[in-house]
Structure 1
């Protein structure tokens, strides 16, 4: 396979259970403006920056990371001949060396690593033409990497790329923007917007002692709900909404949903494979081996809210009380406890419609 590159016009990991045989489907998209926004959290309230970053275990990167050393140091597109030879080693099936003008990394200066998962890594980046700060994500292809077709694109795209493009169709406020991407032989590259004063919500929660106050949780929950609803409206099932996949800008307290690697096209029919994080898995999948996208997303939002406020995931007794609508936590408002009970109902039909959550009295 050769390279495919696309500049996207204006319109990032924890324990995951990756299904070895993902499936795909199709849906349509729509567009709707946001209703209202909850009262902003006062500056500094609940948002504590960690004094030091936790040490991370070093992992051996794949061969496709090796050429980042020359891409990251390159500040211009001059002296291309030596670079061509190095790229030839990465693509032995190509008979003639490709010009580095075809390489997406020649348009960006690659900086330090921001995070790494089982199939790729995310780096800081700077777009050379205008100095814009970006995040550059490299994802290694495997034999299970799936490509799907979406409107306005003649050839199938890697599923994560396709879903991110679909999620960006229309006004984008609470979903990370895809700015550029390229399909390489052994991996694909995604260039995403980077929030300069951000951290993922998991780090924010841990830096606050494992849980956050209700006001800050309300703001994060608001952004996560709007992002989830927008994804479904645009025909995308994210599949892995969790603390680690939400970024919050600590300067203006904006929330962004990231990482569509576990997602799928939204369907009316049930999914028979769960590819997200096990702690967010809906109970209907555990009991029946299938689930529907929207009710499962509502359950995920309930787990997200519970985890932020309580500092742990709900246990069996919590879920029993929730299902009986008798659960409460001292210090939380009645509206907050009511929302958690409605989102985490065991039967999917008893959960509220995703589109109606933002109109709940708690917001």
Structure 2
């Protein structure tokens, strides 16, 4: 019987989708560049594919940082759950079709006894949403609407493939600053979607709902919707609504910017104290605020979205 941290996951495989060779194979195929970021998830570097010069992001994960493991069919070795989930979402040699709003895994390698290397696509003009908001301040509602709609659609795609991200936040959303399109990244805290409650959480605490703070349990979709409420508040107000456990439990955000009543309504619905009172992803997309325009005009001229990389 598998350890409770392990999961069986079914992936449609091609003949080429096998456990990768070690660092030598990686070094033949890719060049590693400057460090882009690091944290509990590992380290991410800029990189380049040798064969055609394609710009990539290279994530290095040591074995002791892997939160969950999975077993791919026909493979003797366990792999990080993140790799298994990305394969299911259409990465690497998977036959599944991916989604334009979910980052695509291009390749992955195992370094025996050390860890894993994951290679991702990397838009040339990109910036994570945390830095985007930090530099520009609170976003105009049409921009926030455009971003939120794309995030929800990406999460719907994940759910349709029985995957829950569990760490939706501004730092895990890449913005293409030339187009205003987004991609969800970092499935290191992700899991297979299930109807029963979860009792483990490796996401970001200030994005977690009251039921987790109080009872150490939650269901996938109400967790996701709560985090979307935090994200929308963050976008239109310039910062997250809650910093402490006590604030999360009160579930009463104090709006620090003048925003429309419709936008406030959607935020408060997502941040409902009781999980059963929160909307579904479909409800969010059909909310009156979401029916407003997300035409943000010429991105190059809009001061809230001008590239500054």
Same fold (TM over 0.5): yes
Residue 145 to residue 278, structure 1, CA distance change in 2 (3 Å):
closer
Matches within 5 A, 1:176-325: 176-185=103-112, 186-209=114-137, 211-315=138-242, 322=252
Q: CA deviation at 1:147?
A: 2.2
| Secondary structure in 2 matching 1:174 | coil
| Secondary structure in 2 matching 1:342 | helix
Q: Which has the higher contact order (CA 8 A, sep 6+)?
A: 1
The 8 Å contact of residues 167 and 203 in structure 2, kept in 1 or not, is answered as: yes
The 8 Å contact of residues 7 and 69 in structure 2, kept in 1 or not, is answered as: no
Distance across 2 between alignment mates of 1:289 and 1:317: 17
Q: Which runs of 5+ in 1 are unaligned?
A: 1-20, 30-98
Matches within 5 A, 1:36-51: none
Q: Structure 1-normalised TM-score?
A: 0.67
Q: Structure 2-normalised TM-score?
A: 0.78
Q: Which runs of 5+ in 2 are unaligned?
A: 12-20, 91-95, 291-309
Q: Cα deviation per residue 1:292-348 (whole Å; 9 max; x = unaligned)?
A: 11110010100111112122332567985859xxx7666322221111111110101
Residue 305 to residue 237, structure 1, CA distance change in 2 (3 Å):
same
The 8 Å contact of residues 200 and 248 in structure 1, kept in 2 or not, is answered as: yes
Larger Rg: 1
Moved over 6 A (4+): 26-29, 316-319
1:353 aligns with 2:280: yes
The 8 Å contact of residues 9 and 71 in structure 2, kept in 1 or not, is answered as: no
| Secondary structure in 2 matching 1:219 | helix
The 8 Å contact of residues 166 and 235 in structure 1, kept in 2 or not, is answered as: no
1:142 aligns with 2:64: yes
The 8 Å contact of residues 24 and 264 in structure 1, kept in 2 or not, is answered as: no
Residue 317 to residue 149, structure 1, CA distance change in 2 (3 Å):
closer
Residue 116 to residue 320, structure 1, CA distance change in 2 (3 Å):
closer
Q: How many residues align?
A: 270
Q: CA deviation at 1:149?
A: 2.7
Higher percent of residues as strand: 2
Q: CA deviation at 1:359?
A: 2.2
Distance across 2 between alignment mates of 1:171 and 1:152: 23
